Amino acid sequence: MIRLEEVTKKFGDFTAVDGVTLSVGKGEIYGLLGANGAGKTTLIRMMCGILSPTSGKGTVMGWDISREQSRIQERIGYMSQKFSLYPDLTVEENLRFYADLYHIQGHVKKRVAEVLAEWNLTEWRSTRVSALAGGWRQRVAFASATLHAPPLLFLDEPTSGADPATRRAFWDGLYRLAEGGTTILVTTHYMDEAERCDRVAMMLRGKVAAEGRVTDLRREYAGVLNKPRPTLEEIFHHIIRGRGEKHGQKLG
Ligand SMILES: Nc1ncnc2c1ncn2[C@@H]1O[C@H](COP(=O)(O)OP(=O)(O)OP(=O)(O)O)[C@@H](O)[C@H]1O
């Protein structure tokens, strides 16, 4: 679903993403981890067809990330860190608005009802978004991003600040989608969430410092960390130290 080769993004003299190579297969939940400013959002934006790479190449669902960006944008789901909902509209009206935006044809009402049920939002359908608590707003944002049943979903820190119930509902939803064949690329600040991914890439100053299946990374670093089951947080801190980075950097 995603193939990137040596993808780089520069803003002037500053290199935000530096030679990233990775691939994500159908139905995988792939986690992008890294400290603030590591380049995760910039990388996601290139994969979503919003930003052009400075160099390198890649495809998303077979479309070229430099030349076929509008094709990619039409097919994917994307929930950015600053997701936008209309506070004066009800939950259902917001979803109908996104249904129009995604050009959902035919059974809009049925699809909106399905998505409301999937995210436990049915009883809130007539409530204005401004009257919802933060966690419930996040559910509306997830629901909006999945309304057109995209085969590939990009989620940039989707559970940031969410309450435990919302986070749990969100991960239940992600597993359901992945079981149905949806491919998911997610960035997260929460290590327990990162450990739920099939594979992760740890980014450090624009580069992928470690990548692989969570279980394989644990095995790989068990010896050097002298622990049978090191956490992703411990692995990340080990990598940071090895590169002479400042202590205390937070993974997320
Ligand atoms: N349009 C831009 N112009 C200049 N610099 C930028 C631009 N967008 C991002 N950057 C810089 O690129 C670096 C990577 O930013 P990015 O938002 O991709 O990081 P991130 O890993 O997503 O961080 P966070 O977890 O804080 O969202 C940062 O130093 C940021 O200031």
For residue 251, pLDDT over 80 is answered with no
Q: Are 183 and 16 in contact (CB under 8 A)?
A: no
**Residue 243: count of CB within 10 angstroms of its CB:** 10
Question: Which residue CA neighbors atom 24 of ligand 1 most closely?
Answer: 36
Give the confidence band of 39 by pLDDT, cuts at 50, 70, 90.
very high
Question: Which residue CA neighbors atom 17 of ligand 1 most closely?
Answer: 41
Closest ligand 1 atom to residue 39 Cα is 18
The answer, as to whether pTM is greater than 0.80, is yes
For residue 93, pLDDT over 90 is answered with yes
Question: Which residue CA neighbors atom 7 of ligand 1 most closely?
Answer: 11
In the prediction, which pLDDT does 188 show?
A: 82
* Cβ of 39 less than 6 Å from ligand 1: yes
Alpha-carbon gap, residue 245 to 154, rounded angstroms: 29
Q: How far is the CA of 13 from the centre of ligand 1 (A)?
A: 14
Alpha helices in 58-189 (DSSP H): 69-75, 91-101, 108-118, 134-146, 164-179
Q: How far is the CA of 37 from the centre of ligand 1 (A)?
A: 5
Helix, strand, or coil (residue 137): helix
Joined together, the tokens standing for residue 33 give: 């981890």
Q: How far is the CA of 86 from the centre of ligand 1 (A)?
A: 26
For residue 19, pLDDT over 60 is answered with yes
Mean pLDDT of the chain: 90
For range 79-98, the mean pLDDT: 89
Alpha-carbon gap, residue 179 to 175, rounded angstroms: 6
**69 bridge partner residues:** none
- Beta strands 55-60 and 2-11 are antiparallel
Joined together, the tokens standing for residue 146 give: 């999945």
Q: How far is the CA of 44 from the centre of ligand 1 (A)?
A: 11
In the prediction, which pLDDT does 247 show?
A: 46
pLDDT tens-place string over residues 102-158: 777 778 888 999 999 989 899 999 999 999 988 888 889 989 999 888 999 999 988
Q: Are 238 and 67 in contact (CB under 8 A)?
A: no
In the prediction, which pLDDT does 249 show?
A: 53
Give the confidence band of 37 by pLDDT, cuts at 50, 70, 90.
confident
**Residue 82: count of CB within 10 angstroms of its CB:** 6
* Cβ of 40 less than 6 Å from ligand 1: yes
Short-list 55, 36, 53, CA closest to 44: 53
What value of ipTM does the predicted structure carry? 0.94
* Cβ of 42 less than 6 Å from ligand 1: yes
For range 30-42, the mean pLDDT: 91
Residue 21 backbone zone (phi > 0: left; psi -120 to 50: alpha; other: beta): beta
* Cβ of 16 less than 6 Å from ligand 1: yes
pLDDT tens-place string over residues 59-86: 999 999 999 999 999 889 998 887 788 9
Contacts of 184 (CB under 8 A, 6+ apart): 28, 29, 30, 152, 153, 155, 174, 177, 178
Measure the CA angle with vertex 232, ends 159 and 58; round to 5°: 70
Contacts of 198 (CB under 8 A, 6+ apart): 28, 29, 30, 213, 214
* Cβ of 9 less than 6 Å from ligand 1: no
Residue 157 backbone zone (phi > 0: left; psi -120 to 50: alpha; other: beta): left
